[in-house]
């Protein structure tokens, strides 16, 4: 009789496009988000936690930068035939909440949210299918004062977590201005918004690629099309040279001052009504920020902000980190964007049928953390717990009493719970945990009423750098009375 095969063991590996977060990473993220939350709270925003799962219908077709939105989410059919999906951002759930609880929430409703989101996209270097976002939004405020407030709050949040002025800039643009430019260029008809829709989509995607393709590549996409190095051809918008020049002028409209940039944009939009509205809104935002002390060293008007313009209906903003880092090939480059947002007045309308103004911003948590690490502005590897070693198994109660005393005094501590037979393994464990101090008490020490404290961090430094004389003068191991355990450990920890 054939012998049954043993069942195949599952592979111990993270699914493709996902990652695991360990101690220091989780601690650093929480510390950073706590600081951001303090800023949002100071501005009067309330926290909101929504379900990680929404109906596909509620999520809608608003996933940025994905041509087929339902392809970009993790979705499944529930037993009652409804299609459900993991949220792809924190904005779509907010729109559902604003509609569902519109009779209970204050208007405007100001909320912030933090948590993981999921996107069913092709993973790549530094691009994961699960990542953290940190959002703040105001729903129900039509005034661009709400947009200006979001920009100011974003600036404050960056400085609070450790990005000083000079290392970042918040750049502000307006979708209405671009609509005005496209109207002047002949690819937008205010009386028939559906007309030239395909051409406008190509123009938007072309503008969004200016950093990667440069002027020549974008001009090609605005015209007949572009063939890349591999030979693949991308169809262009079919604009004439004169039409393309209007669009290119929009991207080159940034001047040394906000006032000069606004003036250049006003000239570009000409008699376009919607373009004029956008320019006026930028002018108002600049004035409101200036009155609060947010100058061009922090926030600027910049037509180069084009991310997600198809998603937004008015002002858009982006926080860019301007300091240099080294890439994987050792080349210097600027760190780039860590946050983006803008006004999206049509999102809640999907549920209510009525226009509900909204504006907000999203911070890429993992990316901002990476920037802080690159500049040495996080806590680094957090200190591990004080480890109480176990010399006599029968005296576990004594060791747990030591740990209790340390914890009650606010000291992070633990008893070694592995096999205590090999003391060397206990110290190896303490080293792997990043423990600053090991507490040792064998039978002899217990008889004398003392404990031995081993300063593991100092000991490592002495072992690396100290001479024999320094070793004798600065012992990394001391004996103290059991009653002075807490005070002696706190002294070693600098508390």
- In this predicted structure, the answer to whether residue 491 has a pLDDT above a threshold of 70 is yes
> Is the pLDDT confidence value at 460 over 70?
no
**pLDDT tier for residue 201 given thresholds of 50, 70 and 90:** confident
Architecture of domain 151-344: 2-Layer Sandwich (3.30)
Structure confidence at residue 347 as a pLDDT band (50, 70, 90): confident
Query: Is the domain covering 16-142+355-382 a CATH 3.30.930.10 domain?
Result: yes
Judge whether residue 330 has pLDDT over 70: no
* pLDDT tens column, 82-95: 888 999 999 999 99
**Average per-residue pLDDT for the chain:** 87
DSSP per position, 178-200:
HHHHHHHHTS--TT-TTTTHHHH
Domain 386-493 in CATH 3.40.50.800: yes
Interacting residues of 167 by C-beta distance below 8 A, sequence separation 6+: 321, 322, 323, 375
- CB within 8 A of 282, min separation 6: which ones? 172, 173, 174, 177, 258, 262, 265, 301, 315
pLDDT of residue 2: 57
Residues of the chain with CATH 3.30.930.10: 16-142+355-382, 151-344
Q: Where are the alpha helices (DSSP H) in 106-196?
A: 145-161, 175-185
Q: What is the pLDDT of residue 56?
A: 87
Query: Would the pLDDT of 403 be above 80?
Result: yes
What is the pLDDT confidence band of residue 212, given thresholds at 50, 70 and 90? Answer: confident
pLDDT in the model for residue 1 = 52
Least confident of 50-64, 214-228, 335-349, 425-439: 50-64
Condensed to tens digits (0 to 9), the pLDDT of residues 131-146 reads 999 999 999 999 999 9
Nearest to 347 by CA among 380, 300, 313: 313
Tokens found for residue 54: 């929404």
> pTM for this one?
0.83
Per residue in 260-288, pLDDT (tens digit) is 899 999 998 988 999 999 999 999 999 99
Position 463 pLDDT exceeds 70: no
Q: What is the mean pLDDT of residues 353-379?
A: 87
pLDDT, mean of residues 370-378: 80
CB atoms closer than 10 angstroms to residue 245 = 14
Indicate the range of 295-299, 309-313, 461-465 predicted with least confidence.
Answer: 461-465
Question: In the chain, what is the greatest distance between 2 CA atoms, to the nearest angstrom?
Answer: 94
Confidence of residue 458 (pLDDT cuts 50, 70, 90): low
Confidence of residue 472 (pLDDT cuts 50, 70, 90): very low
Is the model's pLDDT at 39 over the cut of 90?
yes
Token couple for 238:
């079919």
CB 339 within 8 A of CB 191: no
Q: How far apart are CA 146 and CA 375, in angstroms?
A: 32
CA dist., res. 410 & res. 204, Å (int): 55
- pLDDT at residue 415 greater than cutoff 80: yes
User: In degrees rounded to 5, what are phi and psi of residue 303?
Assistant: -65, -10
**3-class DSSP assignment, residue 115:** strand
Residues 322 and 168: beta-carbon distance below 8 Å: yes
Q: Where in the chain is the domain with CATH 3.40.50.800?
A: 386-493
Q: Are strands 437-440 and 386-388 parallel, antiparallel or unpaired?
A: parallel
Cis peptide bond prior to 108, omega within 30° of 0: yes
From residue 170, how far is each of 153, 317, 481 by CA, in Å? 11, 7, 57
Q: To 5 degrees, how large is the angle CA 304–CA 310–CA 316?
A: 45
| Residues 375-389, mean pLDDT to the nearest whole number | 78
Dihedral angle sign, alpha carbons of residues 39, 41, 43, 47: positive
Side-chain-facing half-sphere of 267: CA atoms under 13 Å = 10
pLDDT of residue 468: 42
The 10 Å Cβ neighbour count of residue 224 is 12
Nearest of 238, 254, 357 to residue 304 by alpha carbon:
254
User: Interior CA angle at 131 toward 18 and 377, to 5°?
Assistant: 115
Quote the tokens at residue 436. Answer: 């600053």
218-266 pLDDT, tens digit per residue, is 999 999 988 888 888 889 888 998 999 998 988 888 888 888 899 999 9
């Amino acid at each position: 009789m054939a012998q049954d095969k043993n069942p195949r063991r599952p592979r111990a590996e993270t699914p493709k496009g996902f990652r695991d977060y360990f101690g220091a990473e989780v601690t650093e993220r929480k510390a950073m988000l706590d600081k951001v939350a303090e800023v949002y709270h100071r501005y009067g925003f309330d926290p909101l936690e929504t379900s990680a799962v929404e109906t596909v219908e509620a999520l809608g077709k608003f996933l940025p930068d994905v041509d087929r939105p339902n392809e970009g989410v993790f979705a499944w059919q529930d037993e009652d035939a409804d299609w459900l999906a993991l949220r792809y951002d924190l904005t779509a759930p907010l729109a559902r909440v604003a509609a569902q609880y519109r009779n209970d929430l204050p208007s405007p409703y100001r909320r912030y949210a933090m948590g993981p989101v999921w996107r069913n996209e092709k993973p790549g270097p530094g691009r994961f299918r699960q990542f953290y976002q940190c959002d703040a939004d105001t729903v129900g405020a039509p005034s661009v004062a709400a947009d200006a407030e979001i920009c100011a709050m974003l600036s404050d949040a960056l400085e609070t977590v450790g990005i000083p002025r000079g290392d970042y800039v918040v750049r502000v643009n307006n979708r209405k201005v671009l609509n005005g430019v496209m109207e002047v260029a002949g690819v937008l008809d205010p009386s028939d918004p559906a007309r030239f829709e395909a051409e406008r989509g190509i123009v938007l995607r072309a503008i969004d690629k200016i950093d990667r393709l440069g002027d020549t590549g974008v001009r090609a996409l605005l015209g007949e099309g572009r063939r890349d190095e591999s030979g693949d051809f991308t169809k262009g918008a079919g604009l004439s040279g004169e039409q393309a020049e209007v669009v290119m002028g929009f991207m080159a409209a940034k001047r040394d001052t906000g006032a000069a940039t606004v003036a250049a944009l006003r000239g570009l939009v000409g008699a376009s009504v919607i373009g004029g509205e956008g320019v006026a809104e930028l002018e108002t935002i600049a004035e409101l920020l200036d009155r609060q002390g947010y100058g061009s060293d922090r926030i600027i008007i910049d037509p180069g902000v084009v991310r997600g313009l198809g998603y937004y209906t008015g002002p858009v903003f982006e926080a860019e980190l301007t300091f240099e880092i080294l890439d994987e090939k050792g080349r210097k480059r600027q760190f780039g964007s860590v946050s983006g947002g803008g006004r999206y007045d049509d999102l809640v309308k999907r549920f209510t049928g009525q226009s509900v103004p909204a504006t907000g911003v999203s911070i890429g948590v993992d990316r901002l953390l990476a920037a802080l690490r690159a500049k040495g502005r996080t806590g680094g590897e957090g200190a591990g717990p004080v480890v109480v070693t176990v010399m006599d198994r029968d005296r576990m109660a004594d060791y747990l009493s030591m740990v209790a005393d340390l914890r009650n005094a606010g000291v992070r501590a633990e008893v070694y719970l592995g096999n205590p037979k090999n003391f060397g393994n206990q110290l190896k464990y303490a080293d792997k945990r990043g423990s600053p101090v090991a507490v040792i008490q064998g039978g002899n020490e217990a008889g004398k009423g003392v404990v031995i404290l081993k300063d593991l961090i100092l000991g490592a430094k002495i072992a690396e750098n100290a001479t024999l004389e320094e070793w004798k003068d600065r012992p990394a191991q001391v004996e103290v009375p059991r009653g002075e355990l807490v005070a002696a450990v706190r002294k070693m920890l600098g508390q």
